[in-house]
């Protein structure tokens, strides 16, 4: 008996566009990053939100057969963003971009049982970068994540050396490195790498332009 076909969909949105979905994503973030990974984060009423979750912040929700399985957050770098403003000592100040062509990616994660969807979430991320005309995607990542990107064939550029960024709820030291995925110089490679995953993924951009600043290519 054949399995039912899998439907993968990525929804790009702002919280005002999809308030119910945003609540689900915020709950998912709390369960994944705070409860399962043990990050020390601000949570309230079962939700994980911080000062970088604003009306201008953009999000991606990855759905498998209608069920939320992954997400990421994107902040344009001419605005306050996490790695630069919450971890200012992790790299020289002049290393951080502050232009409209750079978008920080944070809160990137998948349901623990769905690690096989990582390539789909990355495909959604690079689709987002293409839609926004991004030249670079800054982020704060751990060294294992950085190595995984390199094995996948994705080039990264560090802003500084790995640094301690705090402790988890068990008291274990956490290390991270600030850097970026440069887009323009590897656009062709990224296109080839994610060509097949993007054919299996429906991406819907539901971000509203009403009264909000948008700069794209």
**Stretch 118-144: mean pLDDT:** 96
Residue 1 has pLDDT above 60, yes or no: no
- What confidence category does residue 186 fall into, taking pLDDT thresholds of 50, 70 and 90? very high
Long-range contacts of 212-216 (CB under 8 A, 24+ apart): 212/14, 212/55, 212/56, 213/56, 215/76, 215/100, 215/133, 216/131, 216/132, 216/133
- Provide the percentage of residues in the chain whose pLDDT is more than 90: 88
* pLDDT tier for residue 5 given thresholds of 50, 70 and 90: low
**pLDDT confidence of residue 134:** 97
The alpha carbon of residue 172 and the mean position of all alpha carbons in its chain are separated, in whole angstroms, by 24
| d(C-alpha 206, C-alpha 20), whole Å | 14
214 pLDDT band, cuts 50/70/90, is: very low
- Rounded to the nearest 10°, the torsion over CA 205, 146, 80, 128 is -10
pLDDT exceeds 60 at position 213:
no
* Neighbouring residues of 214: CB distance < 8 A, sequence distance ≥ 6: 207
The pLDDT assigned to 67 comes to 96
Q: What domains can be seen in the chain, in order of their start residue? A: 8-205 (3.40.630.30)
- Decide if 13 contacts 58 (C-beta within 8 A): yes
pLDDT at position 98 over 50: yes
Neighbouring C-beta atoms of residue 135, cutoff 10 Å: 19
- Beta-carbon-side half-sphere exposure of residue 48 (alpha carbons within 13 Å): 20
Q: In whole angstroms, what is the distance from residue 200 CA to residue 67 CA?
A: 16
- Beta strand residue intervals within the chain, DSSP E: 8-13, 43-44, 47-48, 58-64, 67-76, 103-110, 136-141, 157-158, 163-167, 173-182, 201-205
Identify the three-state secondary structure at position 158: strand
| 60 closest CA partner among 19, 102, 9 | 9
- pLDDT tens digits for range 7-38: 999 999 999 999 999 999 999 999 999 999 99
Asked if residues 152 and 189 have their Cβ atoms less than 8 Å apart, the reply is: no
Closest CA to 72 of 43, 17, 29, 113: 29
How far CA 95 is from CA of 113, 127, 154, 178, 182, in Å, comes to 36, 25, 20, 9, 14
- Among 71-75, 148-152, 196-200, 207-211, name the one with the lowest average pLDDT: 207-211
DSSP-derived letter for residue 33 is I
Looking at the predicted structure, is the pLDDT value of residue 83 above 60?
yes
Q: Distance between alpha carbon 29 and the CA centroid of its chain, in Å?
A: 12
């Amino acid at each position: 008996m054949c399995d039912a076909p899998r439907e993968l969909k990525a929804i790009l949105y702002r919280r005002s566009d999809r308030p119910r979905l945003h609540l689900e994503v915020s709950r998912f973030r709390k369960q994944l990053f705070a409860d399962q990974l043990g990050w020390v984060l601000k949570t309230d009423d079962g939700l994980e939100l911080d000062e970088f979750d604003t009306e201008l912040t953009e999000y991606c929700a990855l759905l498998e057969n209608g069920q939320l399985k992954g997400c990421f957050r994107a902040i344009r770098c001419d605005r306050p963003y996490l790695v630069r403003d919450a971890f200012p000592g992790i790299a020289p100040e002049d290393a951080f971009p502050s232009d409209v062509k750079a978008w920080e990616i944070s809160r990137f994660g998948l349901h623990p049982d769905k690690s096989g969807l990582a390539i789909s979430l990355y495909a959604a991320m690079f689709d987002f970068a293409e839609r926004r005309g991004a030249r670079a995607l800054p982020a704060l990542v751990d060294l294992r994540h950085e190595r995984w990107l390199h094995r996948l064939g994705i080039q990264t550029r560090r802003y500084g050396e790995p640094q301690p960024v705090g402790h988890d709820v068990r008291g274990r030291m956490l290390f991270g490195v600030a850097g970026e995925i440069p887009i323009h110089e590897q656009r062709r490679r990224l296109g080839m790498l994610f060509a097949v995953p993007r054919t299996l993924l429906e991406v819907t951009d539901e971000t509203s332009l009403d009264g909000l600043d948008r700069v794209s290519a």
